[in-house]
Amino acid sequence: MNQDRHPNQLFVPPSQRDHYQGVLKAPVVLMEYGNYQCPQCREVYQLVQAIQQHFKCSRF
């Protein structure tokens, strides 16, 4: 394991190959992996939408 990596840092950073909204170089990046048939994933998707609306994220 890389000792220089922060425990909350992804092993593979997000890139142009990922599905994303916003700016990949932002100070905070939320990575979400989901299954469209999973009820819990749907709840998380709705939560992320609410967070985007709350913070008026115009980059999303």
pTM of the model: 0.54
Domain ranges of the chain: 34-60
Residue 2, number of CB atoms within 10 A of its CB: 7
Q: Do 45 and 51 touch, CB atoms closer than 8 A?
A: no
| Position with higher pLDDT, 24 vs 2 | 24
High-pLDDT (> 70) share of the chain, %: 87
- Mean pLDDT: which of 4-8, 19-23, 44-48 is highest? 44-48
Q: Within 13 Å and on the Cβ side, how many CA atoms surround 21?
A: 9
Q: Note the pLDDT of residue 57.
A: 67
Q: What is the mean pLDDT of the chain?
A: 79
Q: Six-digit token pair at 52?
A: 């985007």
